[in-house]
Chain A
Amino acid sequence: MDRITTIQVSASTRDRLYGLKFRKTYDEYLNFLMDMYEKLEAEGSRRPRSPGKVLVMSEAMREWVKRNVKWRNGRIAEVDLDGR
């Protein structure tokens, strides 16, 4: 077994981990999370989000900017967040 070390996490993080790690040690649970993350990352890299979809969404954002952002001297001066 690897040598045991200590890491510092906030009390709230520790409490969340404790609540989630049911019947696992912290070490086992963190490894489980990392395995899951790496698996999702690997899947994600094989299936990147379509650039077309990203652009379609940002075209919608452009429309929002046109309606709800005011500019002064080429810089953003006012935003209407209620226009969301």
Chain B
Amino acid sequence: MADEKFIVLGELNRALKKKPVLVGGGAAELYSAGHFVTGDIDIFADRDELLPLLAKMGFSKEGMYFIRGKVFIHLLGSHIEKRFDDILLKGTGLKVRVISVEDLIVDRLNACKWWRSKVDCEQATHLLNTYRDRLDTGYLEDRAEEEDVRDTLDELRASIAPHKNIGARRTKRKGK
């Protein structure tokens, strides 16, 4: 059975009109098959719609978290301008909306470059290598340039064996 936090997110996704978007460590955990484990789930969701539902589901607010048992939800904001994917959790009938792998990599690159976070450098490298033939290279590079982390992206890509072609697809972004 999928981790309880992903089930909760799937239930929220099913109940809410404005679908919550999973970002951060929770997204990394989902994309890494649990290789990177997080204690909480960071989401963007409509606060007015989310809070009554969380209360109904038995969550209580403690500090910045909404907590029920071992599930900790951190509401980061109401809206996020990132690409996301709607992913079905096999065997549950539930879908979760998750920040795209490309945007998650850019997020980790930011922490790697600006915070010098080794864990995030490693996660970015992992994700770049794991999804190397599936990434949308054009989008990834555009986003990295927007966030001024293209140099770190290139550095990490160079650390992966040169013969490995990272990114098999290239799409144009809207308006570009």
State whether the Cβ of A12 lies closer than 8 Å to any Cβ in chain B: yes
CB pair B88–A78 under 8 Å, yes or no, is yes
CA distance A44 to B119 in the complex (A): 11
Chain A interface, >50% SS class: helix
CB pair B126–A61 under 8 Å, yes or no, is yes
CA distance A80 to B91 in the complex (A): 8
CB pair A48–B118 under 8 Å, yes or no, is yes
State whether the Cβ of A4 lies closer than 8 Å to any Cβ in chain B: no
CB pair A61–B130 under 8 Å, yes or no, is yes
CA distance A32 to B129 in the complex (A): 38
Closest residue of chain A to B133, judged by CB?
A62
Determine which residue in A49, A74, A75 has the highest number of CB atoms from chain B within 10 A of its CB, and name it: A75
CA distance A83 to B34 in the complex (A): 10
Knowing A77-B87, A84-B33 touch, does A71 contact B125 (C-beta < 8 A)?
A: no
State whether the Cβ of A33 lies closer than 8 Å to any Cβ in chain B: no
Number of interface residues of B (CB under 8 A): 37
**A50-77 vs B: 1/0 string, CB under 8 Å?**
0100110111011011001001001111
CA distance A69 to B67 in the complex (A): 29
Knowing A54-B125, A61-B33, A62-B130 touch, does A78 contact B90 (C-beta < 8 A)?
A: yes
**B94-113 vs A: 1/0 string, CB under 8 Å?**
00001011000000000000
Partner of A83, one of B33, B98, B125, B160: B33
Chain B positions within 8 Å of A, measured between CB atoms, are: 1-3, 6, 30-35, 62-64, 85-91, 98, 100-101, 118, 122, 125-127, 129-131, 134, 136, 159-161, 169
Chain A positions within 8 Å of B, measured between CB atoms, are: 10-13, 44-45, 48-49, 51, 54-55, 57-59, 61-62, 64-65, 68, 71, 74-84
- New A-B pairs, 15, CB < 8 Å, besides A55-B125, A75-B85, A76-B101: A49-B118, A51-B159, A54-B125, A55-B160, A55-B161, A57-B126, A58-B126, A61-B35, A75-B100, A76-B87, A78-B88, A78-B89, A81-B34, A82-B90, A82-B91
Query: 9 nearest interchain CB pairs?
Result: A10-B63, A58-B129, A80-B90, A81-B2, A61-B130, A64-B33, A78-B88, A58-B126, A84-B34
